[in-house]
Structures are given as C-alpha cells and as structure tokens.
Chains A and B, each alone.
Chain A
Amino acid sequence: MRTVLLVAGTQVTTSDLHLLYERAFAAAGWRTVFLSHDSHLPFGEKIFQQSQLRFSRPHVALVNRRVRRLARACAPDLVFISGSNWYVSPDTIRSLQRAGAKVVLNEQHLQVFRSWQSACLPLYDHVFVQDGGLAALLRAAAPVRGASLLGPACDPEEHRPIPLGEAQRRDFGADVAYLGYGYANRLAMMEALHDFDVRLWGVGWDASPALAGRFRREPVHGLKKTLVYNATAVNLNLQSHQYQLDGVTCRPFEVAACGAFCLTEARRDLASFFRAGDEMVTFDGLDDLRAKIAHFLAHPDERRAVAERARARALREHTYGHRVQQVITTVGL
C-alpha cells in the first residue's frame, strides 16, 4: 500500500479542502498521514501562531522539523503540500526527496513570491495549481519541472442534496445567499442588492452597517454549509482578487454537487469545468448580477434544470476522487 503525507498549508478549521483530499486518497487505497495546523499544534508552534509570529525564523524551523520527523516515521511515497506552501523550506523538500518521496505542491492562493516559496519551485516533482493563469505563468516564466491545472472539486458525501424541513428552510434559506469573507468590494456589492432577500454567512460583514440583520457572524462549514446551499434559491459565487487570476473557487462545484443553483462571477477557467449558460450561469458586473438574480428567482424550473445538469457534470468529472487520480497519474505512482 502506498503512503501519502498530506501537509496542510492552512488550518483545517478554516477549510475542509485538505481533509477532503485526504479522504479521496484513502478511498483510492492509499495510507494517509496528515500534518495539520489546528488545535493539535505542538506547544511551540501554537505559541508562535497565536502570537501572530507566523513566518518568523523559529516558527518556520519548528514546522519544518515536524514535517521531516513525520516523514521519517511514515516513509511516504508522495508528499502532497496542500493549499499552498506556507512553511516548507527547500532543504526539507530535498531531504524528503532523498528519502525516496515525490513531492508535489497543490497551489491554491498564488503564494509563490516569498523567498522560500519561489526557491522551492524548481524542486517539486510537479506543481498543481487551481488557477489556469498561474499555470501558464509558471510554465512560461518559472523553472518548474511541470505545472498543470488541478481544478476545484466537490465531495459527494459532504456536498449532497438534503431534503429540508420547514424549520431548516427558515433557519438556512434565502432567495440569495453568499457564504464567505466580507471584503470591501463584496460589501459594496451586497449593499447594492438591498432590495432582494439576501443572506450573508461568514465573517467581515459587520463592517457594513447597511447589511445589519442580513448576516450571522459564525463559521459555516460541513453540514451547515451543505444546508445553506440546499436551502438557498440563488447561491452567489464571488471570486477573490487577491488569490485568483483566472481561477474559480470550489464553491460552484460544491453547490452543484448539492443539486443547488449557483450564479457565479465569470472567470476564464470556468469553461474548463462547466458549459457556460447550460451547466453554470455567470454574471459580469452589478447590473448583470441584478438582472440574472431577478430572472432566476422568477423562473424556478429553469434554475432547477441548470442545477441538475451542473450536478451531473460535477459528479461525473469534478470530485476529489477525480483530482486524486489526476495527481497519481501525473507523478507516475
């Protein structure tokens, strides 16, 4: 049985991505070993993290020591650095490879500009990116051995249709919902939708007094996220200008797997995964967004038909299982 060491670059408390990859590797018959950044942090790392001293020399050294120790203990065939390389040094990558592991990066946040992040680029056996723009940039301008697009995905066990009761519809439902962080541009956009029944989930929304009463300041993951997607007529997907060039987040894939309807900001990569207009509806600018929200609220049958086609495509081609097969095939394991 082959072993994969998953090194989670970000906290599993803020994203399920790493755990869903772990589950997909396990389903593919691999032994999985997981290195996380959460409450289980060792004593010293926790202190640096909580003191906002991440990336300080001793913090980075502690994380790297933990990676090397765990690799010595489990002798992985593959080290999968998941969700960007926030900490792993070039020396650690060389030592993992000397021990016989293939090391790949799954780049999610355009984090390739810090000194050690760029120094690692020529070392990886392969760089997977969630953004076609970055893949093209790396292939053209960086000394990588190989770079390819590894699309966002869904997990049919996690993201699934759920029959809702009246109470759940009331607690989690709305005509329009967005689930994520309230960046300044998003606050302005949501304020401009004031005449719709809009509900916001996540954090940062309290920065706008105009949005008071429309959000709940609480984490939304796992089952609750699935319930929100199921209970919402129009799930919005807004892209980050900080973390994506042409890429899309996993939200349209998760909404699709729930059998729910997603209205997403147009991005170039989307055409690689869904047929625009037929399986996924996009908007470009506020006027278009308002017009499409109004249209799809008035046409629930049309909304449901798009959602059904999106779900079929997501399950057929865009699960974490498909992505893991792509990784295994690409690195030749």
Chain B
Amino acid sequence: MYYFEHCLRQAGVVSPAVIGLVRAGGDDASSADLRAELQDVFPLAAFVEWRPESGARPAADLYVVPVTGAHDFPFHDVLYRQLDAVADTLAALPRATPVLLCRVSWREAEVVRLQHFWRWRALHRLQALAIGLLVRETPLRRLLRPLA
C-alpha cells in the first residue's frame, strides 16, 4: 500500500476525499485489487466508478485510470505501446484534477497533471520514438554497450 502513497506524495497530491475509478478496460479483477489497495491507503475516501461510455462523469478529487495491457518484466514500461488508448481516456477527464495512471499488470504508477496533457503526450511519443530507435541492433547501440 505504501507504494501508492509514495507516488501520490511525490506528486504533491493530498489525501483525496473522493476517488474516481475509471473502468476503461473492463478488467474487474484488476480494478477490485486497485480499489482495495487505495482504500487501504485512504480508509476515509469514498469511491465512485465511471465508464467513459456511460455518460455523466462523477466529480472526484483524484481519478484513477488502470492500464491493463501486458508488460515485459522487469524493466519495460510499455505504456508507450498503448499510448493512444490511454490518451483517449485521459482526454475525457477534467483538466484540474490529478490522475493516477496505474499499470496494473506490473504495478507501476504515475500522477499525470492534465493541464499539461499535450506535453505529457508529446514527451511519451518522443520517448517511444527514441526507444524504438535504440532497441534496434545498430552501430549506435553497440557504441552504448554496458560498462563492465
């Protein structure tokens, strides 16, 4: 439980009274685990759930968006492979409220500030491009071989 507390504290998010759990992927087991973890961190918080296709979005102090795609253990944060789908979900949320983006398949979370959404999206696209170039076996990669 302390991990989420750490992520939120690092991002300057104070204890939310209402947490909005966004159910975009439809993975009920992951959402239940996530909710239990967050309830353990914030025992007094109320939870509201929302599916983007269901219409009116409930108000919340923190939205939680689970990313349910696969991962490459242990070092690959493959969010960039699902960037468009995630960005569509984020675009439907209010700009002033922080969003906890959780990769539930490998427990990794970050707080996204949607006021700077375009910047977040552009940075991730750029990272994806650079990663795509560097993972190929090229002279550049050979040059960057690990230190012994």
Residues in A lying within 8 Å of B, measured CB to CB:
11-14, 16, 19-20, 22-23, 34, 36, 38-40, 43, 46-60, 114-116, 155, 157-158, 203-204, 218-219, 221-224
Contact = CB atoms under 8 A, between A and B. Distances in A.
Interface of B: 1-4, 6-7, 10, 33, 36-37, 40, 73-77, 80, 104-110, 123, 126-127, 130-131, 134-135, 141, 144-148
Nearest to B1: A222
Nearest to A116: B147
20 contacts: A13-B107, A20-B2, A22-B6, A23-B2, A34-B10, A43-B126, A46-B77, A46-B127, A47-B130, A50-B75, A50-B76, A50-B127, A51-B134, A55-B146, A56-B144, A56-B147, A59-B144, A114-B147, A115-B148, A224-B37
B145 A52 contact: no
Contacts of A55: 146-147
A330 to B, nearest CB: 25
Contacts of B127: 43, 46-47, 50
Contacts of B74: 11, 14
Given A12-B6, A13-B106, A56-B145, A203 B73 contact: yes
A56 B146 contact: yes
B2 A218 contact: no
Contact of B2 (A16, A60, A114, A116): A16
A40 B37 contact: no
Contact of A219 (B1, B75, B106, B145): B106
Nearest to A202: B73
A224 B134 CA distance: 36
Shortest Cβ-Cβ A-B pairs, 3 listed? A55-B146, A51-B134, A39-B110
Nearest to B11: A40
B110 A221 contact: no
Contacts of A157: 2
B37 A223 contact: yes
A47 B76 CA distance: 10
A50 B108 CA distance: 14
Contacts of A203: 73
A34 B9 CA distance: 11
A54 B107 CA distance: 21
A51 B106 contact: no
Contacts of A51: 130-131, 134-135, 141
A218 B53 CA distance: 27
Contacts of A59: 144
Contacts of A38: 108, 110
Contacts of A22: 6
